[in-house]
Structure 1
Amino acid sequence: MAGRPSDGTPSASGDEAEPSTPSIPDEEWQKFVEDAERGRASAPKEPSARARMVTERLRAQEARGELPPGWRTGPAWQEMNGRATRRRRWWAIVGVPLAVAVAVVAVRPSLIPGDPFGTASEASDAAAASPLPAETAAPTGAPGAVDPDTPTVARPFAGSPAERWADGEAGITLPAANPVGTLTRAQVEQALRQTRRLLVDANLDAATLRGERPETALDVIEPRQKELLDRLRTALRKPDKEHDPLRMFSRFDPAEVRLAGDVVKTRGRMTFKEGEDASVAVHADYTFVYPLVREGSDEVARTIVRRVLDVEVSDPTRYQVTPGKIVVKRYDQEVGNTACDLYDGYLHPHFDSAEPTGAPPTGPTTDPYDRSKDIPEDRRVECGVVSRT
């Protein structure tokens, strides 16, 4: 059995030496000891024939006095071996914890004091820009303050709570439909979808925003609401103070401004309940944020429009209504950052680098992002100042 080799020197009596046991060179044994100390011990290997010959030759030389005394056990060898042992112990004490620390920092670099790699700020930016969950109830207050970053064409919603809002139509989600009164679930679902179509075409459609005629929005309104439709068509054709299309539609003068990018941010909610006259009453409350630039300029300004819409759909088997159409009962809006007392049918955002247009604001200062309060139906329509855009 292989083991630590014995001396193997012939006896002084001259008697025939005992058969020698295959020996293991010191280099092999030292490697085994080192591997064992590192925790990955491997069994000593049977030395090769050449190794055995070298070992026997060295022992014969030692017996004849041809090697210096204590060449294997002398002070120099012991000192060298002691230094190696101390180095191994030092790495065992320091190296393993150091390796563990490096691995932990690689997984969580923010644990380093001072965040030298800037990962904490990157994580904070990512969290700040993560999308908000859908709004299912009225907020309890205005959104919190946001770092006052300057909006750019590449990042037009920087410094705005809307940066975390949904993009365009994705922000107009429908509640799950169920039967209401005599109306089936399918009829309620159709009323919700038609309300959404009106909101999308009136506030998000690219052609509508450029000032073109919002045909889809007009088409979903009950044809029997002739007075309303006539008023809206007149406002689109020849806007004035009494016929202002902005009460229902978001429009910008393409000769003056254009969208910065192709995203409008949207946030709000839609609910429904049983209405009068065997109907379902749908209530929609949404805020749209439009980033805009002027031709030849990179400055970004934002206009914020909040719209409240109440519609009803009655049971066509009991009332004279057009199936698939909605009756608009109320449409109202609040606008932030647009010129006051201009009735040309367009919203006119203010840019810091341009002279203000329109009349000076006379109304109170409001937060256009505050969705916690209802828009009063009987309020005085005053053009005020916004606290932020």
Structure 2
Amino acid sequence: MKEFANPFRPGAGQPPPYLAGRDNEKEGFKKLLGQNPILKNVILTGLRGVGKTVLLETLRPIALQEAWFWAGNDLSESASVSELALSTRVLADIAPLVSSFVLEEKEVKRIGFGISKETFEIKLNYQTLVQIYNNTPGLESDKLKTVLEIVWDVVKTKVKGIVLAYDEAQILKDKAADKQYPLSLLLEVVQYLQKKEIPYLLVLTGLPTLFPNLVESRTYAERMFNITTLDRLDEKESREAILKPINKQGCPVTFTEYGISEILKYSSGYPYFIQFFCKEAFDIILQQIRVGVTEPNVSVPQMVLKLDSDFYSGRWSRITDRQRDLLMIIASLPNADSEFTNKEIADKSIELKNIFKTAHINNSLLKLIEAGLIFKNRRGKYSFAVPLLANYIKRQDMEALF
């Protein structure tokens, strides 16, 4: 049998073999690149596993085709700890794009016979950007504005604009206690440049806490962005994500209609879960074919146990028993997969005779937000930050009975 590599990729941020259901988002981004001046920036938000990072990487070639520079990175705690750290992150991301451009030429006089003058080019590399930054008077925001203006003056005849793209941007927060405002700095600098009709386009992706963080930092942030909330795929899109990678010449693996319906059922349209179940099913079927099984068989419910271990258990293991009790109460709510309130949790705890006081619920929810399991939206309600977490919690509750 001819070797055929498993096309499915459930890794974090790994591009799938076929990106289903995101054509509208890509087309919308292309339209934003045509703004003159830039009035709207981009936010891509959603739960983990909906494909934010994958879509972000898909937007990069669109920007390049439209003659834009693309600078960006994953944001980390270290990059967001201070205004200087964030500025350094931006300079480090832009430097590789512009390091071959000449900022200015200088003549140096020589003493002695022969050539009396020599011309040196000062290129816009990282060292030059940092020097400009350090030599600019004022606040960190003033320094970053100056550097980005100079960068644009040098490259503006070669490109239409510069995209600043940052993933995991929910990490970026102002820290009033430390008198550090990295998020405010980023918004202020981008708005300043755009007011001067300098085409920098900001693209941020992150969990649903991202946009409330932005609005809390700067009230005008709401008017700066087009917000795209990525959700699960519909059935047609999910089927395309399952079938198109294996409907290729030479692929030895096929999925039965029953198998497809099981993947649809247990993935609920979440792109990561589709990739996970398809990869597992592909590997199992291929191994059975290799040993002569004529009718390969897989059990998607059995794969769920592996998904629990790979995707959920790490988060579950980091919380206390009492926090788990609270999550089990939340998972039993009829609206657990959408939004829920503190009062609904309290009422349900009374009904289940596992009573939580309001103050205890508030404190526990804050801890669960820090753990990345819950988020609070702008309407003052709470939601699970991890897709299908309620189902996982119910499975843990069932296991505890045996």
Fold equivalence (TM over 0.5): no
TM-score (norm 1): 0.24
Larger radius of gyration: 1
